[in-house]
């Protein structure tokens, strides 16, 4: 704070000390990684861009592995999808400022599948609600729900205030959720998460009744909870790394929530705009699709002809592997577009002539109307592909 390590580090430290004081942290702790949101020009605008350039100009440098959230455009295909030159110019300046500060150009909301995958017990400072929910819950790492700027400040000094979910006692469940049996499709997990977050937005849920959940199901579950509520940590009995610590504990004082299939159907119905058949675009990949999800999509579109726009978003790392395996070619031969570095929510979708979207993500359906002025409806991956095939 006294400027010994430069002006930028002092500014970042001041910000973290203020944050720590607000939350009554008694000290700072070292972190092993960071993930920074607020990367799209659409979200942070000129003021955000200038702040980043100022920090970079004053010599801010990250001290730990730090990845970035999606930007407002695919750096390779932005012209192809109609992003304007002026937007692209400012977006490139933002990423250049981050590059100067030493952040890795993995522009994704699944950094844990792009080389930034902390282990259980590691203290990190992550922004991006879906990513940090995954880090806390599925990987067992420890992070608060950071903002883009607090995550960047932590990255620049390698520390974070010791409060909230860094402390053992705050990781214990406060809510017992009985989930309906035999959920399978990621959209069902997305809806379950959305329903929990809507009803208990500040809880740490322990979820019972889920037998096997694939990583994409857990990713959708956490993203849903973090979109409708502020849930940053959940446990799934028998599945997530910390759940066993609490499963046998007495349940006194916990709130309870029983969820049945009707609740999930109702959640999906309420989130959908009901523009059956009239979609301008099908959007998949919120959070970014994994390799397995792209493989699944490939198997459904190979050899078919998509008559409607279908965009699927992923990380650069996943894209490279998908390209090597022929998935990108198969999806694009069918008429879809595989995008990296971006997603439709943080890109200037409203300027691309898109008014209605069909998606397989409750998080995307939640944000489309408010952040993009776009109406959204929900469907499983199968329903999304069928809608893209039909005219």
The edge-to-edge listing of strands for the beta sheet with 235-236 is: 235-236, 205-208, 175-178, 255-258
Q: Are 67 and 146 in contact (CB under 8 A)?
A: no
Rounded distance, CA 35 to CA 154, Å? 10
Rounded distance, CA 221 to CA 130, Å? 9
Number of H helices, E strands in the chain: 14, 14
Least distance from ligand F3S to the Cβ atom of residue 44, Å: 14
Per residue in 23-34, is it b (16+ CB within 10 Å) or e — as a string?
A: eebeebeebebb
Least distance from ligand F3S to the Cβ atom of residue 109, Å: 3
Compare residues 235 and 363 and give the one whose CB is closer to ligand F3S. 363
Compare residues 11 and 116 and give the one whose CB is closer to ligand F3S. 116
CA dihedral sign of residues 71, 377, 199, 136: negative
Q: Which residues pair with 175 in a beta bridge?
A: 205, 255
Question: Which member of 363, 377, 387, 388 binds ligand F3S (CB under 6 A)?
Answer: 363
The edge-to-edge listing of strands for the beta sheet with 356-359 is: 337-340, 309-314, 281-289, 356-359, 375-378
Piece of 26-34, 49-57, 149-157, 284-292 that binds ligand F3S (CB under 6 A): 284-292
Compare residues 144 and 349 and give the one whose CB is closer to ligand F3S. 349
Piece of 71-79, 144-152, 242-250, 340-348 that binds ligand F3S (CB under 6 A): 340-348
Question: Which member of 48, 222, 287, 379 binds ligand F3S (CB under 6 A)?
Answer: 287
Question: Which member of 125, 346, 357, 365 binds ligand F3S (CB under 6 A)?
Answer: 346
Piece of 88-96, 117-125, 282-290, 300-308 that binds ligand F3S (CB under 6 A): 282-290
Rounded distance, CA 354 to CA 44, Å? 22
Compare residues 130 and 136 and give the one whose CB is closer to ligand F3S. 130
Question: Which member of 223, 225, 281, 374 binds ligand F3S (CB under 6 A)?
Answer: 223
Q: What is the dihedral of CA 343, 207, 185, 270, to 10 degrees?
A: -70
Per-residue tokens: 29: 């702790």
Question: Which member of 145, 166, 288, 340 binds ligand F3S (CB under 6 A)?
Answer: 288
Question: Which member of 33, 67, 69, 359 binds ligand F3S (CB under 6 A)?
Answer: 69
Total residues contacting ligand F3S by CB under 6 A comes to: 15
Question: Which member of 70, 186, 197, 229 binds ligand F3S (CB under 6 A)?
Answer: 70
SS3 181: coil
Q: What is the DSSP letter of 305?
A: -
Least distance from ligand F3S to the Cβ atom of residue 209, Å: 25
Least distance from ligand F3S to the Cβ atom of residue 110, Å: 8
Compare residues 190 and 356 and give the one whose CB is closer to ligand F3S. 190
User: Which of the residues 135 through 194 are near ligand F3S (CB under 6 A)?
Assistant: none
User: For binding to ligand F3S (CB under 6 A), which residues are involved?
Assistant: 69-70, 109, 130, 223, 286-288, 313, 343, 345-346, 363-364, 367
């Amino acid at each position: 704070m006294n400027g010994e390590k430069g002006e930028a580090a002092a500014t970042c430290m001041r910000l973290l000390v203020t944050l720590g004081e607000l939350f009554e942290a008694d000290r700072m702790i070292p972190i092993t990684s960071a993930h920074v949101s607020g990367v799209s020009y659409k979200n942070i605008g000129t003021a955000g861009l200038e702040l980043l350039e100022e920090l970079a100009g004053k010599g801010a440098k990250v001290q730990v592995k730090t990845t970035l959230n999606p930007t407002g455009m695919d750096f390779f295909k932005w012209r192809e999808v109609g992003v304007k030159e002026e937007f692209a110019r400012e977006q490139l300046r933002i990423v250049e400022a981050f590059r100067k500060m030493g952040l890795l150009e993995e522009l994704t909301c699944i950094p844990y599948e792009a080389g930034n995958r902390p282990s259980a017990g590691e203290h990190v400072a992550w922004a991006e609600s879906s990513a940090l929910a995954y880090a806390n819950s599925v990987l067992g790492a420890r992070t608060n729900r950071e903002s883009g700027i607090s995550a960047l400040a932590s990255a620049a000094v390698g520390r974070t205030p010791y409060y909230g979910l860094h402390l053992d006692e705050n990781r214990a469940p406060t809510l017992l959720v009985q989930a309906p049996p035999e959920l399978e499709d990621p959209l069902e997990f997305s809806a379950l998460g959305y329903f929990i977050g809507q009803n208990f937005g500040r809880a740490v849920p322990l979820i019972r009744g889920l037998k096997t959940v694939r990583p994409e199901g857990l990713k959708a579950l956490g993203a849903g909870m973090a979109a409708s509520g502020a849930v940053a940590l959940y446990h799934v009995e028998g599945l997530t790394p910390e759940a066993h610590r609490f499963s046998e504990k007495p349940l006194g004082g916990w709130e309870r929530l029983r969820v049945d299939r009707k609740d999930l159907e109702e959640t999906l119905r309420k989130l959908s705009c009901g523009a059956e058949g009239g979609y301008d675009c099908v959007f998949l990949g919120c959070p970014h699709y994994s390799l397995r999800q792209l493989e699944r999509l490939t198997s459904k579109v190979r050899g078919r002809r998509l008559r409607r726009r279908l965009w699927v978003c992923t990380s650069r790392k996943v894209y490279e592997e998908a390209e090597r395996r022929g998935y990108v070619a198969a999806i694009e031969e069918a008429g879809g577009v595989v995008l990296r570095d971006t997603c439709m929510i943080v890109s200037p979708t409203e300027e691309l002539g898109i008014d209605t979207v069909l998606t397989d993500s409750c998080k995307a359906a939640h944000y489309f109307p408010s952040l993009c002025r776009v109406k959204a409806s929900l469907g499983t991956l199968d329903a999304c592909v069928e809608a893209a095939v039909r005219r």
